[in-house]
A and B are shown apart, each in its own frame.
Chain A
Amino acid sequence: MLARVSVPVTHVGDKAAPSGALALGLKRVLGPDHRMGYLFVLPIFFFVISLVGYPFCYAIYLSMTHKLVGLPPVFVGFENYVRLTWDGFFQRAVVNSFIFTFGSVAFKLVLGVVMAVVLTSPIRWRSFWTGVLLIPWVAPTVVSALNFLWIFDGSLGVLNYLLVRVFRVLPQGIGWLSEPGTAMASVVAVNIWRGFPFFGISFLAGMKAIPAELYEAAAVDGASVLQRFRHVTLPGIRNIMIIVVLLSTIWTFNDFQIVYILTKGGPGGTTMVMPVLTYETAFGAQRLGEAIAVALYLLPALAVTIMVLARYMRRGRKR
């Protein structure tokens, strides 16, 4: 009986030796509970693959097809991308997207800093003003954009009414959304109005985390208000600034609602940006493959921007 039992034990032991060593090695590298770890990660892995990985890969595939509504896709390789590269309308949309994004983000950055500085200074009803300044960020974008559509209206808009009738600054109304000098500026202005409170409130949180002793020490050393701002406040909120600029760049670049509601990319493509062009190509032209190519075209450039910014941020932290 004993012998019969001992044989399989020896047999198992012989075979188990290398796998046992592997398990030990894995335990050493991945930790003692690595099997349980896989179990915990599995659902997330499944969700990421099914909800992000698969759609993303399928989108890349579709962008390389000639896909019309109701018809199966026909693989065309990089034809959509090549065609877009030489398409003047697309090129203008790319340029417009960068003007729209960086124009907006630059102003939002400055206004956000101003907002944060004002709200950290000893003013009356600080909480009230904080709430008021957050309204543009809290209000639904569609509602804000529709309001601005009315405000900018050439004939019935309140802006022209004030400038022409009330303050008599202009002899005649301006087509804010229809003239070369003002169409892009107007949509950028709405994006700034909508987005600067996010900058302001983030900077405000950062500024509150700066120890008061630093300001006191700087003041004792004879630093002026401007010097304190430059050498204490700005370095103190540097990392937040980078994150906020990064996020806002991505959001602004992908902003669809404001431009679509105000101008639909018109007149004559003056305010056409990438998200609106993607939408127009998908639902107007109904060329789905090309629409995805429009959407994905600048993805590598954006990814590089994000990586550079993230790296810069990490380098700052090491210092």
Chain B
Amino acid sequence: MDRRLTALAEQLEAGHIARREFLRRAAVITGGTAAGLHVLRRMASAQGGPKLRVWLFKSYVTAGNDILARQVEEWAKERKVQIEFDWATFGDREQKFVAAIEAGNPPDIAEMNYQGPMRYRPALRDVTKLAKDLAASRGGLLPFAERVVQLDGQYSGIARLVFGGGLHIRKDLLAEKGLKMPKVYDPDVIDVAKKCQDPSKDLWGFGQTLNRCDDGNGFMQNILWDYGGGTWDKDGKPALATTFLKQNLAAIQFAVDTIQKHKVQPPGVMSWTDVSNNEAYMAGKLVCTNNGASLYYAMGAKNHPLYDKTQVILTPGGPAGAFVASNPYTWGLFKASKHAELSEDLVRWVEDEKRFEEYMKACSGQAGPVYKVRAEHPYWKTNPNYEGMLQNILRGVWIGYPGPITPAAIEVQAQYILCDMGGRIVVGGLSPEAALKEAHKRVEDIYRIRSRS
């Protein structure tokens, strides 16, 4: 207890002061103390500067996460700003954004994926000037990145990086059999898979889920493009079972055949999530699998024996070419923030080329370029696997290709419509044509609903 209050209590007990006087003095002491503490707290927070709420994305490449967090902290120290960090993961990122935006309490600045600028546009600040400034001093944005962050000339996000990746393949197994690296799925990947796999030893030729996850989404989207098809036509209208029916049928037939006809995929592949192929590959159960650089990074970080036996090559293609979606991660600055200038300053700080270089080098190929200058960095030539990842990014297109990127195109990805289409054939027993038509109807519904807003 406060010494003054103790003394007062003693005086009251000794009858030196009346109860009323005791209460009056006690109220003055406690009230004064509380007011003093309040003033002190305000002074302390005033000394610490404004508080910025920053949401970062926690990727599987932990070294990169640590560097980015440190860079933000250094900026905060330099600018005398308090930082309130929060991390979003693959599993809870969109949920957090939805909850925060709907509650009217979004962060000041957040690291978003490719869906962010389009989906959260009503809540995001127009960052056209900053985005153009950054791009101009870095040789300009690469085409896929430009599409993701900008709509009708207005930028809702600032592109930061693209996850590099490709087909991770066991070069030791291919060398044993005297096989060349595959360039197309059919017949190259199937040949390699069949010749290298040994189901009796639980070694499978190809690990590629069609299930509801980012890996499944990516593959399904790419394979439609590889066969000359796609979900959207060049005007951004649904084309799954109309314009591209024939091409999409061939593509989806191939995807299903890898499981049902060629039998090069492991049991349970249709229930895989994003980490399942990483685990299976690192457990030595796969000859090849498509994945982001996080798999290569994880093997390197753990000194895994397969690190040196793995080559990351260009994602294979099909009859119409080899396509991948290059989906940039972006910075989003929210309208509700009172610290817009500070947020812009923070973006300039972490996107500084020296700082980005430090981050990129720790990311083992995951921090792919969105600016032309960054694509020319010598880092990408230091490892043949990085070269593969870079080329994959550079030839990348955007969700919605060959049309524009739209909220409807984003929602088709977010709802895993293409994965469900594959699942309906493999598990639901539908014919490819029926599954394609069913998915087309869902896409049309989304297009209709999104066109209205």
Contact = CB atoms under 8 A, between A and B. Distances in A.
Contact of B425 (A66, A268, A280): A268
Interface string B198-213: 0100101000001111
Interface string B415-429: 110011111111111
A294 B415 CA distance: 15
Given A264-B212, A269-B423, A280-B415, A286 B98 contact: yes
Contact of B98 (A89, A172, A177, A282): A282
B129 interface: no
Contacts of B449: 66, 287
B123 A156 contact: no
A276 B203 CA distance: 34
Interface in B14-51: none
B283 A179 contact: no
A180 B268 contact: no
Given A183-B271, A269-B428, A68 B98 contact: no
A286 B267 contact: no
Contacts of B419: 266-268
Interface in A277-318: 280, 282-288
B81 interface: no
Nearest to A160: B267
Contacts of A176: 268, 271
A268 B426 contact: yes
B120 interface: yes
A interface residue count range (under 10 / 10 to 19 / 20 to 34 / 35 or more): 35 or more
Interface in B104-154: 119-123
A70 B117 CA distance: 12
B331 to A, nearest CB: 17
A154 interface: yes
B211 A156 contact: no
B279 interface: yes
A255 interface: no
B280 A156 contact: yes
A263 B273 CA distance: 9
Nearest to B202: A155
Nearest to B438: A88
B120 A69 contact: yes
Contacts, number: 152
Contact of B453 (A66, A88, A175, A283): A66
Given A268-B426, A269-B420, A174 B267 contact: yes
A157 interface: yes
Nearest to A154: B268
A178 B268 contact: yes
Interface in B430-453: 438, 441-442, 445-446, 449, 452-453
A179 B426 CA distance: 8
Contacts of B453: 66, 68, 71
A178 B280 contact: no
Nearest to A280: B415
A265 B427 contact: no
A267 B411 contact: no
A268 B268 contact: no
17 contacts: A66-B453, A70-B122, A154-B271, A155-B268, A156-B280, A175-B267, A175-B271, A178-B269, A266-B419, A266-B423, A268-B270, A268-B425, A268-B426, A269-B420, A284-B94, A284-B415, A286-B94
Interface of B: 94-95, 97-98, 101-102, 119-123, 199, 202, 204, 210-213, 266-273, 276, 279-280, 283, 285, 411, 414-416, 419-429, 438, 441-442, 445-446, 449, 452-453
Given A264-B273, A267-B271, A285-B446, 9 more contacts: A66-B452, A71-B453, A83-B445, A89-B442, A154-B267, A155-B267, A266-B419, A285-B414, A288-B98
